[in-house]
Amino acid sequence: MKLLRKNIEKLNLFLENYPKIGIYFPQFLIILLLGIIISYFSMNASTNMAARGIETGFGFLANKASFDIQFSLIDFDSNDSYARAYLVGLLNTLLVSGIGIFFATVIGFFVGITRLSTNILASKVAEAYIEIFRNIPLLLQIFFWYFAVLRLLPSSDNSLILFNFVFANIKGIYIPRFIWENLNYFLYGFLFSILIIYLFVSISKKKQEKTGLQVPTFTTSLIIFFTINFLVIYFGQVGLTLSYPVLETNRGLHNYMGGVSVIPELIALAFSLSLYTSTFIAECVRAGILGIDKGQKEAAASIGLSKAQILKLIVIPQALRIIIPPVTNQYLNLTKNSSLAAAIAYPDIVLVFAGTALMQTGKAIEIVSITMLTYLTLSVSISIFMNWYNKKNSIAER
Amino acid sequence: MKIIKFAVSIFAVLLLAACGNESAKKTSTLDTTKSQGFVKCGVSQGLPGFSNADASGNWAGIDVDVCRAVAAAVLGDATKVKYTPLSAKERFTALQAGDIDVLSRNTTWTLERDAAIGLEFVGVNFYDGQGFMVRKKSGIKSVKDFKNGTKVCTNTGTTTELNMADFFKAAGVSYEPVVFEKADEVVQAYDSGRCDTYTTDKSGLAAQRTKLSAPDDHIVLPETISKEPLGPVVREGDATWADVVRWSLNVWIEAEEYGVNSGNIDSMMDSKNPAIQRIVGAEGTKNGAGLNLDQKWSYNLIKQVGNYAESYKRNLADTGIMPDRGPNALWTNGGILYVPPVR
């Protein structure tokens, strides 16, 4: 006992002399502990799986998938590997998340601003929209819109044809495939025109700051854009031909072949994700705008800015700083919610990889970990990007 | 310094726990089942005729009867079953993890499943094959009529996806698979016209057809594109338990062969036919000893569950799902139902 006490005293003395060890040692122990817990569970799992004759490892990724996928952005065939099936699923997840984030942001900003409108009707409609769509569980909305979309569209022998360009039926929405000639000239010309416009806008901005004169940037930019692109298309002989989808009839079955098809599952999923997330974004936007001091708007009005200018130049730049962090959360939610795709046959990573591939190979632990890591990477990337954007938009503290 | 002491003690406890677990002894499924008093059985989430729960939660079907047969054999009471409804995706993990001890959920016996994922198939209780259902007005009469661009609805996590990929590849026809996680959504999507055809096992097609808005407007095409032997599955590595399930299945089928059923089994106890004596476990036969079951295991099974013919009639014929036994008739009646002898 005495010896122990003596040793503890010695230890205390040692720690007083080296305070850093006292700070870092407990942290080191906790990390070690975490490591041990994790390796304990994975060891346990692998021992148990070996005992039950379950094969483990990631070698299966190179094997032939031998199933097909309805919709993919890259070529996929049942002879391709599980790794490629994973890529197809990942791209489909990114596609629907990207579309969803874009529309959710646009609708969300619009509804959020409308919600603050002085027009009572407009603001009440926006409020009703928000309350309805954010209070119904997303999975129900997805089912509702999916089967609503299916019921709404006509059968394939009786397609809805818009401008002889869009062919919509229950099996998908078909548009002609664009076949370009000399597309590279067009792209160079396009980039060139954007560059010129950028230079023009920054020069006129500097001029305005110096002399106070305002140049009609928008109209001039449009003129520059169209002139350059028209000249390039005309002289570069850029050509565009359309390859139309063709209705093929096989006895009583009617299917469009060729062209570009958008499947109803993608439409329903992107639609419901956008509607649902836009309500949360609208509330973030409202909070952001309300967070701007009234004095700012009054000051802007007193120097003669119009209402639109006040919103664009004074309110939104400041509100953005309040809006971005919570909106980032909504982007992350949308991306993760896109995994509900499996319910309505949209071939995202969960349906293709954590569904079909998992079933065919039986590699539950491997596939689920890959899928979780993928979502983690996606979410962290979005976070990093939004943090960067937030930093860019925040002013240096005064 | 308290933190250090705390961390060290947790560390020690964990180390002990880790060692303790590795030396823990495995218990056999048969003993666990006997001591807990019920059989843990995985079934489908609702497939009429195979495993389906009625409004009051009573399970019935030819797959459910396998679970009941095992319960009657092991525990002497066919009702001592705990059913776990599983999706196609969940089923194998549930069995591997020990949530269930028998998986009787229209599961196809394949090499990959038997060899690579720690499962053991013990036999076949239904011979099935994959088919296609189409609308009558589509005019499609045979799978040969499918042309490029066919939209096919089915559900994920089954051999169906692989078979149809093989089938369309061999036929040189391009198609689009519309793959759902649950059967109910497949039926809804097919019914709405999203797909030209619905493919799954023929028994499944017959069962799901009853859920369509106008079942008579649809037909199942005559061709069968795959072999789907469906049967009960157990975990690999417990041979005793696998034997119990295998021979419960076999005695259930062989009882039909020798005309033993739930009605006449009591009089069959006095039969002079040695084969029947072995099936019913009459005195002097060593029925059950090798399986670590009591002498009355097969008697209880047949008395409470009936033989295969009774199960088939109750679940598949009388319900109109599959009135014709087809390949599931006994080998003596032109089918392929053939089990090793109970002796």
Of all residues in chain B, what percent carry a pLDDT higher than 70?
92
Residues A100-108, mean pLDDT to the nearest whole number: 95
Contact B89 A355 (CB under 8 A): yes
* Neighbouring C-beta atoms of residue A32, cutoff 10 Å: 12
Residue A129 — pLDDT band, cuts 50, 70, 90?
A: very high
Interface test mutation site (partner A, options B10, B166, B175, B178, max chain A beta carbons within 10 A): B178
What is the distance between the alpha carbons of residues B83 and A146, in angstroms, rounded to a whole number?
32
pLDDT score of B1 more than 60? no
Q: Looking at chain B from residue 264 to 293, which residues have their Cβ under 8 Å from any Cβ of chain A?
A: none
pLDDT tens-digit series, residues B68-89 = 999 999 999 999 999 999 988 7
Write down the pLDDT at residue B308.
95
Q: How confident is the model at residue A209 (pLDDT cuts 50, 70, 90)?
A: confident
Containing domain of residue A221, as a range?
178-242
A105-140: burial string, b at 16+ Cβ within 10 Å, e else: bebbbebbbbbeeeeeeeeeebeebbeebbeeebee
Among the three residues B199, B226, B253, which one is the final residue of a domain in this structure? B226
B125-169 tens-digit pLDDT? 999 999 999 999 888 889 888 988 899 999 887 788 889 999 999
**In this model, does residue B22 exceed pLDDT 50?**
no
Query: HEC string of A75-138?
Result: CCCCCCEHHHHHHHHHHHHHHHHHHHHHHHHHHHHHHHHHHCCCCHHHHHHHHHHHHHHHCCCH
A156 and A11 in a common domain? no
Mean pLDDT of A175-190: 80
CATH of the domain at B178: 3.40.190.10
pLDDT surpasses 70 at B295: yes
Q: What is the pLDDT of residue A217?
A: 76
Residue A226 pLDDT: 85
Per the CB < 8 Å rule, is A147 touching B148?
no
Please, which contacts does A187-196 make with residues 24 or more away whose CB atoms are closer than 8 Å?
A188/A232, A189/A228, A189/A229, A189/A231, A189/A232, A189/A233, A189/A236, A190/A229, A190/A232, A192/A228, A192/A232, A193/A224, A193/A225, A193/A228, A193/A229, A194/A225, A196/A224, A196/A228
B277-283: average pLDDT: 86
In this prediction, residue B60 has a pLDDT band, given cuts at 50, 70 and 90, of very high
- Of B170, B197, B226, which residue constitutes the final position of a domain? B226
Q: Kindly list the residues from chain A whose CB atom is less than 8 angstroms away from the CB atom of residue B173.
A: none
Q: Are residues B222 and B303 in the same domain?
A: no
- Looking at residue B300, its pLDDT comes to 94
Chain B: give the shortest CA distance to residue A328, in Å. 30
Whole-number pLDDT of residue A297: 87
Q: What is the mean pLDDT of residues A98-112?
A: 95
Average pLDDT, chain A: 86
Helix (H) or strand (E) holding A64: none
Query: Token pair 């099974």 is at which residue?
Result: B301
E strand residue ranges, B44-139: 52-53, 59-60, 81-85, 102-103, 119-121, 126-128, 130-135
Question: By CA distance, what is A69's nearest residue in B?
Answer: B177
Say if residue B219 is in the same domain as residue B283: no
Q: In angstroms, rounded to a whole number, what is the distance separating the alpha carbons of residues B64 and B44?
A: 9
Range of B242's domain? Answer: 29-127+230-333
**pLDDT of A203 over the 80 cut:** yes
Residue A114 lies in a domain: yes
Average pLDDT over every residue of A282-287? 93
CA-CA distances (angstroms) from residue A397 to A293, A313, A317, A385, A393?
Answer: 17, 19, 15, 21, 12
* CA–CA dist B311, B126 (Å, integer): 12
Distance from CA of B95 to the nearest CA of A (A): 11
Does residue A394 carry a pLDDT above 80?
A: no
Task: Judge contact between B326 and B129, C-beta under 8 A.
Answer: no
Spatial separation of the C-alpha atoms in residues B96 and A110, rounded to whole Å: 51
DSSP letter assigned to residue A340: G
pLDDT of residue A269: 94
Q: By percentage, how much of chain A surpasses pLDDT 90?
A: 33
Count of domains for chain A: 3
Question: A42-46, A81-85, A133-137, B121-125: which range is least confident on average?
Answer: A42-46
Among positive and negative, which fits the CA dihedral B161, B163, B167, B172?
positive
- A60 to chain B: nearest residue by CA? B116
Helix A264-290 crosses helix A82-115 at what angle (to 10 degrees)? 40
Residue B21 has pLDDT above 80, yes or no: no
Q: How near does any CA of chain A get to the CA of B16, in Å?
A: 12
Q: Does B235 touch chain A (CB under 8 A)?
A: yes
Residue B214 lies in a domain: yes
pLDDT for the residue numbered A189: 83
Enter the ipTM.
Answer: 0.76
Residues B209 and B66 in one domain: no
Structure tokens at A157: 């022998």
Residue A397, Cβ neighbours under 10 Å: how many? 4
For range B262-287, the mean pLDDT: 87
Is A136 inside a domain boundary?
A: yes
Q: How far apart are CA A121 and CA A119, in angstroms?
A: 6
In this prediction, residue A14 carries a pLDDT of 82
Whether B292 is in a domain gets the answer yes
Give residue A334's pLDDT.
Answer: 94
Q: Is B6 part of a structural domain of the chain?
A: no
Residue A4's pLDDT is what? 83
- B87, B192, B197: which to substitute to probe chain A, counting the most A Cβ within 10 Å? B192
What value does the mean pLDDT take over residues A91-100?
94
Q: What residues of B are in contact with residue A267 (Cβ under 8 Å)?
A: none
Note whether A54 contacts B117, CB cutoff 8 Å: yes
Whether residue B245 lies inside any domain: the answer is yes
Residue where the block lists tokens 């149809």: B164
Q: Which residue is closest to B175 within chain A, CA to CA?
A: A70
> Coil, strand or helix: which one is B50?
coil
User: How far apart are the C-alpha atoms of B42 and B119, rounded to whole Å?
Assistant: 14
Q: State yes or no: pLDDT of B3 exceeds 50.
A: no
**Statement to judge: residues B61 and B201 lie in one domain:** no
Domain boundary among B209, B226, B243: B226
Domain assignment present for B24: no
Instruction: From chain B, pick out residues whose CB is under 8 angstroms from the CB of A265.
Output: 178
Same domain, A255 and A355: yes
Of A66, A171, A342, which has the smallest distance from its Cβ to B165's Cβ? A66
Residues A272 and A196 in one domain: no
Which amino acid, one-letter code, is at A255? N
Q: Which helix (H) or strand (E) holds B40?
A: strand B39-43
> B228 to chain A, minimum CA–CA distance in Å?
15
Asked whether residue A75 is domain-assigned, the answer is: no
Tell me if B10 and A257 make a contact (CB, 8 A cut-off): no
The reply to whether residue B149 touches residue A255, judged by beta carbons under 8 angstroms, is: yes
Is the domain of B48 the same as that of B122?
yes
Q: In which band, very low, low, confident or very high, does the pLDDT at A321 lie, cut at 50, 70 and 90?
A: confident
User: How far apart (Å, rounded) are the C-alpha atoms in residues A371 and A377?
Assistant: 10
Quick: pLDDT tens for B88-136: 878 888 998 889 999 999 899 998 888 878 899 999 999 999 999 999 9
Task: Indicate if A26 and A140 belong to the same structural domain.
Answer: no
pLDDT (0 to 100) of residue A260: 84
Q: Considering only CA atoms, which of B330, B126, B306, B84 is closest in space to residue B232?
A: B126
Note the pLDDT of residue B96. Answer: 87
pLDDT of residue B177: 92
pLDDT band at B25 (very low <50, low <70, confident <90, very high): very low
DSSP string, A240-306: EEEE--EEEEETTEEEEESSEEE-HHHHHHHHHHHHHHHHHHHHHHHHHHHTS-HHHHHHHHHTT--
Q: What's the structural domain count of chain B? A: 2
Contact A78 B165 (CB under 8 A): yes
Q: Do B145 and A342 touch (CB under 8 A)?
A: no
Measured CA to CA, the distance from residue A345 to residue A277 in angstroms comes to: 21
Describe chain A by its helix, strand, coil percentages, rounded to 5.
Answer: 70, 10, 20
Please identify, among A242, A267, A284, the residue that sits at the C-terminal boundary of a domain: A242
User: For residue B220, is pLDDT > 60?
Assistant: yes
Compute CA distances B186 → A227, A272, A382, B192, B208, whole Å: 53, 20, 34, 10, 10
CATH, residue A294: 1.10.3720.10
Nearest CA-CA distance, residue A380 and chain B, Å = 28
pLDDT in tens, A15-24: 788 877 777 8
Residues of B in contact with A253 (CB under 8 A): 138-140, 147, 150, 196
Across A36-41, average pLDDT: 90
Smallest Cβ–Cβ distance between B165 and the set A68, A256, A362 belongs to: A68
Residue range A345-363: average pLDDT? 88
Q: What are phi and psi of B28, to 5 degrees?
A: -80, 150
Model confidence at B26: pLDDT above 60? no
Identify whether residues A268 and A352 lie together within a single domain: yes
